[in-house]
Amino acid sequence: MLAKAILLEKNQTAFSCNIQNIAEDELLQQTGDTLLQIQYSSLNYKDALAITNTGPVVRQWPMIPGIDGVGTIIHSSSKQYQSGDSVILNGWGCGETHWGCLSQYAYLKSDWLIPLPTGISTQQAMIIGTAGYTAALCVQRIIEHGITPEQGNILITGATGGVGSVAIMLLTQLGYTITAATSKINNTDYLQQLGVQHFIDSKTLAYAGKPLQKEQWAAAIDVLGSHSLANICAQTQYGGIVTACGLAQGMDFPATVAPFILRGITLAGIDSVMAALPKRIAAWDFLAKHLNTDQLQHIGQIISLNECPKIAQDIINGQTKGRFIVDVNR
Ligand SMILES: NC(=O)c1ccc[n+]([C@@H]2O[C@H](COP(=O)([O-])OP(=O)(O)OC[C@H]3O[C@@H](n4cnc5c(N)ncnc54)[C@H](OP(=O)(O)O)[C@@H]3O)[C@@H](O)[C@H]2O)c1
């Protein structure tokens, strides 16, 4: 068996990204107990950082990127799974320290996998992907905090991106009113199609602001970090919550403690990569229950492995919308 895959290589002088055929015995050198035939992977922001060599995502070389995968078990030495089972992989260091799923086959730990939820197809699972599963973790955290639709608007940054799009779909379905912060303020058709009625230009959040500003948001989902996250905290209503899951603007957090000690707001960090299995299963069940799966096709585009390097660069340049599903067999 040969697996067509994206292979990233780096030495002291050069970085390369190529499509290559990987032999089975090479693949089986990864730590694992389960061989998965991948049907679809997806391109997340983190994959884009790895493929374009823009951020320090890859920590072992050579690396097959791909933090997401869905497919069928070929064989597993674990009793949990039988050959032919459909499963999902999200994160766990795949594409960072372990070969990932932008490949026709992946050798993985069975403890990392979750069964494909009933009601979600393999293609829909990758339209959702890590971005959508992270959106679910954010929305669940906001609900756990006690925020109800009556309390006010929810701000979502990077609104046309993967996390943003799925968060909008979930919250709209649950009856919340959303304000979308987007850099594509002159072209809001995509967001209107998802049900958004209120927009702000993400530039208004991007620079240093006052420690306390007009209270506007009952809660927020932020994928940007940096000044944007600081301003969002400063604009959140008394007792509200801000879920922080991304760094598309920057990794820094130039804020003051004022919103926390004077308005009692909560800043909740959201991590999808190492989240425990029960939390993942609950998030995927939440997605299966609350997402309008017919709407998913509006946010997903299918691409091939060959198209990944170009799209990865577009993602880093902030020029894309929605989710990219990679048909690894195309
Ligand atoms: N914590 C976790 O476990 C976790 C999981 C998934 C993702 N993430 C992180 O969350 C972030 C978003 O992920 P994603 O999958 O939604 O990515 P994505 O699909 O590429 O979307 C990111 C969106 O952010 C906006 N954006 C991009 N670059 C920007 C910049 N330089 N300044 C301001 N806005 C920018 C754009 O939206 P607009 O044009 O609409 O503004 C873009 O569509 C990334 O940092 C990713 O690493 C974290």
Mean pLDDT over residues 16-42, rounded? 97
| 216 C-beta neighbours (distance < 10 Å), count | 17
Judge contact between 202 and 180, C-beta under 8 A. Answer: no
Q: Residue 198 corresponds to which amino acid?
A: H
The per-residue pLDDT for range 106-144, each reduced to its tens digit, is: 999 999 999 999 999 999 999 999 999 999 999 999 999
The per-residue pLDDT for range 205-234, each reduced to its tens digit, is: 999 999 999 999 999 999 999 999 999 999
Q: What pLDDT was estimated at residue 6?
A: 98
Minimal CA–CA distance to 223: which of 130, 125, 98? 130
Q: Is 3.40.50.720 the CATH classification of the domain at 133-269?
A: yes
User: Hey, CA dihedral for 96, 8, 64, 51, is it positive or negative?
Assistant: positive
Q: Where are the alpha helices (DSSP H) in 14-83?
A: 24-27, 45-51
Which class would CATH give 2-116+292-327?
alpha beta
Judge contact between 23 and 2, C-beta under 8 A. Answer: yes
Q: What pLDDT was estimated at residue 85?
A: 98
Q: Integer distance in angstroms from the first to the last C-alpha of the chain? A: 17
Q: What pLDDT was estimated at residue 18?
A: 98
Minimal CA–CA distance to 162: which of 310, 63, 48, 266? 48
Atom of ligand 1 nearest to the CA of 273: 3
d(CA 52, ligand 1 centre) in Å: 15
d(CA 146, ligand 1 centre) in Å: 26
The verdict on the CB of residue 160 being under 6 Å from ligand 1 is: yes
The verdict on the CB of residue 240 being under 6 Å from ligand 1 is: no
Q: Where are the domains of the chain?
A: 2-116+292-327, 133-269
pLDDT-derived band of residue 158, with 50, 70 and 90 as boundaries?
A: very high
d(CA 49, ligand 1 centre) in Å: 11
d(CA 107, CA 114): 15
The verdict on the CB of residue 162 being under 6 Å from ligand 1 is: yes
Omega of the bond leading into 56 within 30 degrees of 0 (cis): no
d(CA 181, ligand 1 centre) in Å: 12
Atom of ligand 1 nearest to the CA of 164: 16
Minimal CA–CA distance to 250: which of 210, 223, 284, 212? 223
The per-residue pLDDT for range 230-263, each reduced to its tens digit, is: 999 999 999 999 999 999 999 999 999 999 999 9
Residue 226 phi, psi (nearest 5): 55, -145
Q: Quote the percentage of the chain above a pLDDT of 90.
A: 98
d(CA 99, CA 108): 8
